[in-house]
Chains A and B, each alone.
Chain A
Amino acid sequence: MSTETQAPAPEQPEPAETAEAKPGFVTTFGRYLTEANSVMVTIYSLVLAFLIGAILLIVSDEHVRSTYTYFFARPQDALTASWTLVRDSYLALFEGAILNFNTLAAFQAGDAEFGNVLRPLSETLTYATPLIFTGLAVGLAFRAGLFNIGAQGQLIFGMMGALIIGFSLDLPIWLHLPLAIIAGAAAGGLLGAVPGVLKATTGAHEVISSIMLNNIAALFLVWALGTTFLHSETKTDLVSKPVDDSAILPTLLSSLNPSLRVNLALLIGFAVAVLVWWLLSKSTFGFRIRAVGFNEHAASTAGMRIGSTYTTTMAAAGALAGLGGAALALGVSSGGINDGTAADYGFSGITVALLGRANPGGIVAAALLFGALKAGSLSAQPDVPVDISTLLQATIVLFIAAPALVKAILHLRTPRGGLVALEAKGW
């Protein structure tokens, strides 16, 4: 994704501070609100997505649907039922993700510990952790003009790499844990390099090859879990051996309450995001990535090797997703991974990267948002269908990817730099 602007102007149009007549704050702010700049497009995308989610909730709910059969006789029934449903659903998501008001009241009354109040937030951060890594994995590749859909497979390989080192070696924690994490990154990077190499040598499109590798990796995991090497010695279902204590990522808040699962991987995620930011904006490698992503022909003319940039970028992206896998295998799933551990973290990484516009900071923010959606939807099911998080994610990024659509729906004005859209190359 070369954050492509359609006119040679700054990416972030400045709110009219430089205008001649110095308009007042309200005018400036109002103008900013009605402009299709990237901040407002992001906000409006969120609003529109939650509106669409609300409509789907109403349409698909049997009880509410039945009240619409006599809408013209008693419209208040239908409207009340719709409002209640939407309010309750979104409130349930909020309570599962940020703050549960019942727990808060219980804490104030002295019936619950402070740790219980923090639990939804801890869950949000726990689910956000792998998303930070997979989001960075997709985002980094985007900067080179590569669309890495393979984060799912890379995460699975990372999980397996970290797991194998995690249970097979007998080392002190200061050596074991880093080694297991590195193994995860290496395994993910290895798988990630494959689409890069294929693209560089044969021109095979990375979208297809990485999707195929996703399927292959998922099947490989199922097979590997059944082998005596990986399979749990005590359990009969398809679960791996547990990771040794010396390779488990320490939890951050479990001293407050043992149910707070958020662990060190979150901080590693923040650190890696900073590292990726540094890599992209300050290092030669990052410059090469951005140059190739912006215009590969120009980069090639400038003497950069396109093929090797593809390979190294994809390997680095794979390593990032592999770290996400390590975060799972050594963190929340250190008791043993199964074929559902990877969930959809890799695919959600795509939406995270798109929402974060491939900027490390944006990716962390997007990962926190989608982590919250996931935590909320998991805690609100079965009253609210769990897939509402996928649906909302996809709708949000659909609008993000199509700023022109948001602009047209809401009749926004074109900002001075043109619309900022996301790009990936075709065949």
Chain B
Amino acid sequence: MAVDTVAAPALVDDRALSRHPKAGIVYIVLGGLLVLLALTKLGGLTTTVEIDKTLSDASWAAPTSTVVLILGLAAAALGAWMIVGLPQRRYKIAGAAAVAATVLALLFWAYSEEGTVFRAESILAGALFLSMPYIFGALSGVVCERSGVINIGIEGQFLMGAFTGVLVANITGSVYAGMLGAMIAGSLSTMLLALLATKYQVNQVVVGVILNLLALGFTSFMYDQLKKADGFNTAFSVPTITWGPLADIPVLGPVLFQQKIFVYVGLVMVAVVWFLLYRTRWGLRTRAVGEHPAAADSMGVNVNRLRYWNVVAAGLLAGFGGAWFTLGNSLAFNKNMTAGLGFVALAVMIVGRWNPLGVLAGALIFGFTTQIARDLSAAGSSVPGEFLQMLPYAVTLVVVAGLIGKAKAPAADGVPYNPGDK
């Protein structure tokens, strides 16, 4: 089984598009479309941006067509520059700038409708908060997959965490005990994955999907059973932490210094997991086990034991992410309330290229997308709410399709290791 991990020839042509001058054409087309949009449809519209809600004069109304025109020209110019002769090593920056310009232009367009105001503070603060489940889920995925175990079951661990979080909080009366309970529940469900993946060498993708169904069935079943009795599923809320004077800084204050504990734990965990993975002996061993278990084994690492405990520990993160859905949002548990976000977290992990810092960036992008969708939907945008809700899923699809060929998974990811197999 372990034999076919050795550098399989690429069956699918995965030449990275964005490293190619052709990408320039894409940006020229995008920019051109924006220019066309600005000239034909956006005349007379204005976009209002409110930077600080306490200062009323800090809002700014811009003529939409002019801004979109400028951004579109910028994107097209970057594309043209890439074709004409920008050095290849600058492609990444140029491409990112062109994409950013396009996204910004689309935002200006989206917020040009009557009654919509781009409230920078609340949108950015909301985006950071909404990126948390992605951060926890994807970090959990990183820890598992860096050690060579595919964890498709993040969705299920979210559900277990969300359910147990509320349940334990109700039983003990403490929201923090609920968080702890959620972490343990997440960890117990990854323990099953770890056991099956290491000891019983079961296919991890299959088991992950089954574990999701199991978690869905289990939590829904328990939800119905416990609903019969009172006091097992009352919503608990987590206090918002305000950092004294820091919270009064315009924009930065509300975004960074007036958040719930989940945000701070999430940001700290990004740093912690990064440090552990790249600066400690444990991290080196974990990465070795994920890339070349046989080599790690010959150096004296117990591959399956390390994988087992890593996956169990990763469950703590996913379980805590699950608590975000209920305790973090002050909601009671509901059947299937995670709505596929565990899979979006997997996409975030891929976008972040199995690196905690990449995960942070990816999660912020997805959190921002989700927040924009919610905000526009609440403001009564003319785009149907269902299409706005599709946005995170659609972005995942595009991003996974566009990136996975380039993003390289750990070499032994998903391959059971049997020490006697060599």
* A positions within 8 Å CB-CB of B: 1, 56, 60-62, 147, 149, 198-205, 207-209, 211-216, 219-220, 222-223, 226, 296-297, 300, 306-307, 347, 350-351, 354, 382, 385-395, 397-398, 401-402, 404-405, 408, 421-427
Cβ of B168 to closest chain A Cβ, rounded Å: 16
Most A CB within 10 A of own CB, among B11, B204, B220: B11
The residue on A at minimum CB distance from B218 is: A391
CB-CB under 8 A from B357, the residues of chain A are none
The residue on B at minimum CB distance from A292 is: B11
Cβ of B38 to closest chain A Cβ, rounded Å: 28
Which of B203, B218, B339, B413 is the one whose CB lies under 8 Å from A424? B203
- Contact yes or no, B205 A207, CB < 8 A: yes
Cβ of B219 to closest chain A Cβ, rounded Å: 8
Which of A202, A347, A394 is the one whose CB lies under 8 Å from B404? A202
* B positions within 8 Å CB-CB of A: 4, 8-9, 11-14, 150, 152, 196, 199-207, 209-211, 213-214, 216-218, 220-226, 228-229, 335, 339-340, 343-344, 346-347, 350, 384, 386-387, 389-390, 393-394, 396-397, 400-402, 404-405, 409, 413-415
- Contact yes or no, B200 A404, CB < 8 A: yes
- Contact yes or no, A198 B401, CB < 8 A: yes
CB-CB under 8 A from B229, the residues of chain A are 62
- Contact yes or no, A391 B386, CB < 8 A: no
Cβ of B326 to closest chain A Cβ, rounded Å: 18
The residue on B at minimum CB distance from A221 is: B386
In the assembly, what is the distance between CA of A270 and CA of B105, in Å?
A: 53
Given known A60-B225, A391-B221, A402-B200, contact A203–B214 (CB-CB < 8 A): no
Cβ of B167 to closest chain A Cβ, rounded Å: 11
Number of A-B contacts (CB under 8 A): 185
In the assembly, what is the distance between CA of A62 and CA of B386, in Å?
A: 40
- Contact yes or no, B202 A205, CB < 8 A: no
Given known A216-B393, A354-B210, A404-B200, contact A307–B221 (CB-CB < 8 A): no
- Contact yes or no, B409 A215, CB < 8 A: no
The residue on A at minimum CB distance from B336 is: A344
In the assembly, what is the distance between CA of A362 and CA of B350, in Å?
A: 35
Most B CB within 10 A of own CB, among A205, A223, A405: A205
Which of B13, B213, B226, B400 is the one whose CB lies under 8 Å from A204? B400
CB-CB under 8 A from A201, the residues of chain B are 12-13
Which of A207, A387, A402 is the one whose CB lies under 8 Å from B209? A207
Which of A202, A216, A297 is the one whose CB lies under 8 Å from B401? A202
At the interface, is chain A mostly helix, strand, loop or mixed?
A: helix
The residue on A at minimum CB distance from B346 is: A208
- Contact yes or no, A202 B217, CB < 8 A: no
Which of B8, B204, B206 is the one whose CB lies under 8 Å from A297? B8
- Contact yes or no, A208 B386, CB < 8 A: no
Given known A60-B222, A297-B9, A397-B210, contact A219–B386 (CB-CB < 8 A): yes
Which of A219, A387, A398 is the one whose CB lies under 8 Å from B210? A398
- Contact yes or no, B221 A402, CB < 8 A: no
Given known A207-B209, A208-B396, A402-B202, contact A426–B413 (CB-CB < 8 A): yes
Given known A202-B402, A202-B405, A423-B203, contact A394–B210 (CB-CB < 8 A): yes
CB-CB under 8 A from A220, the residues of chain B are 386, 390
Most A CB within 10 A of own CB, among B196, B218, B340: B218
Which of B150, B200, B390 is the one whose CB lies under 8 Å from A219? B390
The residue on B at minimum CB distance from A402 is: B202
Cβ of B232 to closest chain A Cβ, rounded Å: 10
CB-CB under 8 A from A350, the residues of chain B are 209, 213
- Contact yes or no, B201 A424, CB < 8 A: no
Given known A213-B397, A307-B12, contact A393–B200 (CB-CB < 8 A): no
- Contact yes or no, B400 A62, CB < 8 A: no
In the assembly, what is the distance between CA of A213 and CA of B347, in Å?
A: 13
Cβ of A73 to closest chain B Cβ, rounded Å: 23
CB-CB under 8 A from A391, the residues of chain B are 214, 217-218, 220-221
Cβ of A305 to closest chain B Cβ, rounded Å: 10
Contacts A62-B229, A395-B214, A424-B206 given; 20 further ones with Cβ under 8 A?
A1-B206, A56-B221, A60-B226, A149-B209, A199-B12, A204-B401, A208-B346, A209-B400, A219-B393, A297-B8, A307-B11, A385-B220, A390-B220, A393-B217, A394-B210, A397-B213, A401-B207, A404-B202, A426-B413, A426-B414
Which of B8, B206, B394 is the one whose CB lies under 8 Å from A216? B394
CB-CB under 8 A from B14, the residues of chain A are 202-203
